[in-house]
């Protein structure tokens, strides 16, 4: 099983450059990290030269350090996520085997490693894998806080989570402690070590927060604290909120909005955590084991809090996945010790009831359907390996008599399939626009008009010569004054002042590249007054 885990890590490292930066979040983070490296200002993140307070700086710092080692490319930007994915697997295997019994941690690591959401987030330059690793360390350290060592480890990890995505991580672990205080103290945890961990967390994170607030004052507070945390939780991020549907007022809109609000993360857990969903009963099964109750409460806390939030993004509940993997891993290890080489009665899968088996079959069918989406596999044929890898992996994980080579074969097919799916999506939706945007000379500014959603990754790829504008007059003025090029979805943008240099299609949308009219070379005169071709 150990070498299957390392196969997952190796695959994550190999295919980091198989597809370009995905927009929006990955494009923003990559561009902000690139600007931070250029400016040398490690305190204030910027995008297009303006302060960018959507997230704290830790991920940018990791990316800048990685770019210094590997250069300015996708591998460097995504390497921190892949590295923290590997560290999460090691942590789950080591601590799970130590606290939940032989084999429990190894199974937990494998189930977490092959979960669809894990396989996606380990390959993207976004904050969620880092946040999940640091919060997992903090949750484990809180359980182990019986001395100085674990208190320091937990405090630093919690502070780094605070620097990765803001105060929510600190609040989540605080709520976990309040909910489990009696159990923790009964297990030997002392309040003084919890206070020490909190103090270390604040000392780790607050210097950056205080420094930025002293420099930017109300701008930082209003953007980061109010808009990016409080208002986002309340549904202020309308692009990812259930509120617009509810606010329409019609019956369909209200019912649809309520369904999204209540069931969104049920679907995310089902599809994103498919390797564990067959054992979802561990989240409500009765148990007297204090550690399992503790882990279950952490999973429910994350799931419940973000279900209450009106803003919905799939990765929000990802920090519950390690705890769920540990619970499921312990259950699988126990069941396999009871029946290591038989399938039980008939063809029933290991310990699963019919509902769990049905969820597994339907989830695998959904992912197989994604892989068989023709435009996707037409762009990258090996995406079809996902259609084989997902059912094969689920079969190998949940049948007790399955040989190790079957798990390895399923994992390999699944990894190749995800590589193909992400590569196919890039070629279908992102690469045409990126290649069109890179046609202008690097010393010319690229003006982006009426391109929604935007493509912030172009700031990274063009190394700064990139400016979004809101109206065509501003775009034409920049083209006239500075010789800028314009990327737009408006086919009638050119008129008499610009010429079309290129066209590309991405997901059925047409994109056009225009240059100033005066850049067109005039025809050369032939002898005798006739005109030659330009």
Q: Which two tokens stand for residue 294?
A: 């503790």
More confident residue, 530 or 39: 39
The predicted-structure confidence for 276-314, as pLDDT tens digits, reads as follows 998 899 999 888 899 999 999 999 999 999 999 888 889
pLDDT in tens, 137-161: 999 999 999 889 999 999 999 999 9
105-114, 340-349, 354-363, 389-398: which is most confident: 105-114
pTM exceeding the 0.85 threshold for the entire prediction: yes
Instruction: Please report the pLDDT score of residue 183 as a whole number.
Output: 93
Q: Cα(375)–Cα(428) distance, rounded to whole angstroms?
A: 7
Interval 45-63 mean pLDDT = 94
For residue 2, the model assigns a pLDDT of 65
Rg (CA), the chain: 26
Q: Are 384 and 420 a contacting pair, CB within 8 Å?
A: yes
Query: Which has the closest alpha carbon to 75: 124, 118, 35?
Result: 124
Q: Where is 19: in which H helix or E strand?
A: none
CA distances from 375 to 285, 379, 383, 427, 428 (A): 43, 6, 11, 10, 7
Among the ranges given (106-120, 170-184, 223-237, 317-331), the one the predictor scored with the smallest mean pLDDT: 223-237
Q: CA-CA distance, 109 to 322, in Å (whole number)? A: 8
Q: Name beta bridge partners: 506.
A: 509
pLDDT recorded at residue 1: 59
| Buried/exposed 299-338: b ≥16 CB within 10 Å, e otherwise | bbbbbebbbebbbbbbbbbbbbbbbbbbbbbbbbbebeee
Percent of the chain with pLDDT over 90: 57
pLDDT band at 343 (very low <50, low <70, confident <90, very high): very low
Mean pLDDT of the region 31-38: 95
Q: Can you tell me the mean pLDDT for 1-11?
A: 68
In this predicted structure, the answer to whether residue 441 has a pLDDT above a threshold of 80 is yes
Distance in angstroms (rounded) separating the CA atoms of residues 32 and 466:
13
Instruction: Parse the chain into domains and list their residue ranges.
Output: 2-105+121-250+313-321, 438-519
| Three-state SS sequence of 232-294 | HHCCCCHHHECHHHHHCCCHHHHHHHHHHHHHHHHHHHHHHCHHHHCCHHHHCCCCCCHHHHH
Specify the pLDDT at position 251: 75
In this prediction, residue 494 carries a pLDDT of 75
| pLDDT at residue number 399 | 74
Q: Which of 393, 405, 401, 277 is nearest to 348 (CA)?
A: 401
Q: Work out whether the CA dihedral 38, 44, 47, 51 comes out positive or negative.
A: negative
Angle at 193 between CA 190 and CA 198, to 5 degrees: 130
Structure-block tokens of residue 145: 């806080």
Can you read off the two tokens belonging to residue 84? 């923290």
- Asked if pLDDT for residue 519 goes beyond 70, the answer is no
pLDDT in tens, 239-277: 567 777 677 777 777 788 888 889 999 999 999 999 999
d(CA 45, CA 50): 8
As to burial, measured by CB atoms within 10 angstroms (0-12 exposed, 13-18 middle, 19+ buried), residue 388 is middle
Is the pLDDT at 113 greater than 60, yes or no? yes
Q: What local confidence, expressed as pLDDT, does residue 196 receive? A: 95
Q: Which helix (H) or strand (E) holds 45?
A: none
Of 20-24, 170-174, 499-503, which gets the smallest average pLDDT? 20-24
């Amino acid at each position: 099983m150990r070498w299957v885990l390392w196969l997952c890590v190796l695959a994550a490292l190999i295919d980091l450059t198989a597809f370009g930066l995905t927009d929006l979040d990955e494009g923003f983070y990559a561009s902000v990290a690139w600007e931070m490296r250029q400016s040398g200002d490690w305190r204030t993140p910027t995008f297009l030269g303006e302060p960018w307070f959507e997230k704290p700086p830790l991920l940018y710092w990791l990316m800048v350090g990685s770019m210094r080692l590997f250069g300015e490319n996708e591998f460097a930007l995504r390497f921190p996520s892949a590295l923290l994915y590997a560290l999460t697997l090691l942590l789950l295997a080591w601590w799970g085997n130590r606290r939940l019994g032989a084999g429990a941690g190894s199974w937990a690591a494998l189930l977490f490693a092959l979960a669809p959401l894990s396989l996606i987030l380990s390959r993207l330059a976004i904050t969620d894998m880092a946040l999940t690793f640091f919060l997992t360390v903090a949750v484990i350290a809180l359980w182990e806080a019986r001395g100085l060592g674990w208190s320091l480890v937990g405090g630093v990890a919690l502070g780094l989570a605070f620097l990765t995505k803001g105060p929510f991580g600190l609040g989540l672990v605080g709520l976990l402690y309040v909910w489990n205080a009696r159990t923790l103290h009964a297990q030997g945890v002392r309040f003084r070590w919890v206070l020490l961990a909190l103090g270390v967390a604040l000392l780790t994170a607050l210097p950056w927060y205080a420094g930025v607030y002293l420099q930017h004052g109300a701008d930082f507070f209003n953007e980061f604290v109010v808009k990016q945390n409080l208002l986002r939780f309340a549904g202020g991020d309308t692009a990812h909120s259930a509120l617009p549907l509810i606010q329409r007022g019609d019956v369909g809109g209200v019912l649809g909005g309520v369904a999204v609000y209540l069931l969104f993360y049920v679907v995310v857990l089902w599809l994103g955590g498919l390797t564990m969903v067959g054992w979802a009963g561990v989240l409500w099964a009765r148990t007297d084991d204090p550690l399992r109750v503790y882990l279950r409460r952490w999973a429910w806390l994350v799931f419940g809090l973000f279900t209450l939030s009106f803003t919905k993004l799939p990765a929000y509940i990802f920090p519950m996945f390690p705890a769920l993997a540990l619970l499921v891993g312990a259950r699988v290890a126990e069941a396999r010790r009871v029946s290591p080489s038989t399938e039980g009665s008939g063809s029933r899968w290991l310990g699963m009831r019919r509902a769990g088996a049905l969820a597994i079959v339907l989830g695998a069918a959904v992912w197989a359907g994604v892989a068989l989406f023709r435009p996707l596999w037409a762009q990258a044929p090996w995406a079809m390996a996902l259609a084989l890898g997902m059912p094969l992996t689920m079969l190998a994980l949940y049948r007790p008599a399955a040989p190790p080579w079957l798990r390895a074969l399923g994992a390999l097919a699944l990894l190749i399939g995800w590589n193909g799916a992400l590569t196919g999506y890039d070629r279908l939706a992102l690469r045409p626009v990126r290649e069109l945007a890179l046609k202008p000379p690097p010393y010319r500014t690229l003006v982006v008009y009426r391109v929604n959603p935007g493509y912030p990754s172009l700031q990274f790829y063009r190394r700064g010569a990139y400016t979004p504008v809101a109206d065509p007059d501003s775009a034409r003025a920049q083209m006239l004054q500075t010789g800028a090029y314009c990327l737009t979805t408006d086919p009638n943008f050119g008129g008499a002042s610009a010429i079309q240099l290129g066209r590309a299609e991405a997901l059925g949308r047409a994109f056009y590249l225009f240059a100033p009219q005066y850049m067109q070379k005039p025809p050369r005169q032939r002898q005798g007054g006739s005109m030659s071709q330009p």
